[in-house]
Amino acid sequence: MTGRKFFVGGNWKMNGDKKSIEELANTLNNAKLNPDTEVVCGAPPIYLDYARSKLNPNIDVAAQNCYKVAKGAFTGEISPAMIKDCGVKWVILGHSERRHVFGESDELIGQKVAHALENGLGVIACIGEKLDEREAGITEKVVFSQTKFIADNVKDWSKVVLAYEPVWAIGTGKTASPQQAQEVHDKLRQWMKANVSEAVANSVRIIYGGSVTGGTCKELASQKDVDGFLVGGASLKPEFIDIINAKA
């Protein structure tokens, strides 16, 4: 046993409405979920309050992004203070869609991580390489560089979950093999040991994301450095329960 509590996050992305969120909440609330797994659902910002009101208290809610200051003239943005005011405890930062669709830089993501943590939110910090980067053999270089921008902004690692999501596996149906995932997670832990501390390297949870399904989750969960999942499409379906219970 690693002592690291298994962590399963569902990233709903830009999906759902009140009806479907209520149905999903009922499904999750009535399911037998492994009590040794921490479960967090990432709802669209307009539904954070609603999702929080519908889900049982043993299921936490996450925002999918936030800005780097508490308030001000930043049209369309939300702050950690607002997220917390809705009873929400987590935020996903640096997701590949934020990086590659919306052009967020490593530097901005680092600033967001710092501000979210200073304001008491837990952070699910995402890293991962694109297909051309993997094929060029620079996976480590890319994920270490992304991780450094995050690490430089973290004081308390107990509030951070690191999510490794190879961009080529997100929503494509291609999953990194359990061995590929384990290899990167192991290298990330070694990087943390060398650049942060051995204690943090051993305690920080590194979760995998990228086309995780009920079918692939058990073998991935059995890898010694895979501490959970960040789940996209499957988190909107009843099979999310199977993924939560991958370690059961």
Are the CB atoms for 41 and 12 separated by under 8 Å?
yes
Q: Is 165 a catalytic residue?
A: yes
Are the CB atoms for 164 and 128 separated by under 8 Å?
yes
Are the CB atoms for 22 and 242 separated by under 8 Å?
no
Are the CB atoms for 194 and 234 separated by under 8 Å?
no
**Catalytic residue from among 97, 133, 165, 185:** 165
Which segments of the chain does DSSP mark as H helices, in order?
18-29, 48-54, 80-85, 96-100, 106-118, 131-135, 139-151, 178-195, 198-203, 217-221, 240-244
Tokens standing for residue 234: 């499957």
Sheet strands (E) in 1-101: 6-11, 37-42, 59-63, 90-93
Are the CB atoms for 130 and 167 separated by under 8 Å?
yes
Q: What is the C-alpha to C-alpha distance for residues 11 and 161, in angstroms, rounded to an integer? A: 14
Q: Which of 48, 47, 43, 46 is nearest to 9 (CA)?
A: 43
Q: Is 95 a catalytic residue?
A: yes
Scanning the structure block, which residue is given the tokens 């936490």?
60
**Catalytic residue from among 95, 97, 115, 185:** 95
Write out the catalytic residue numbers: 95, 165
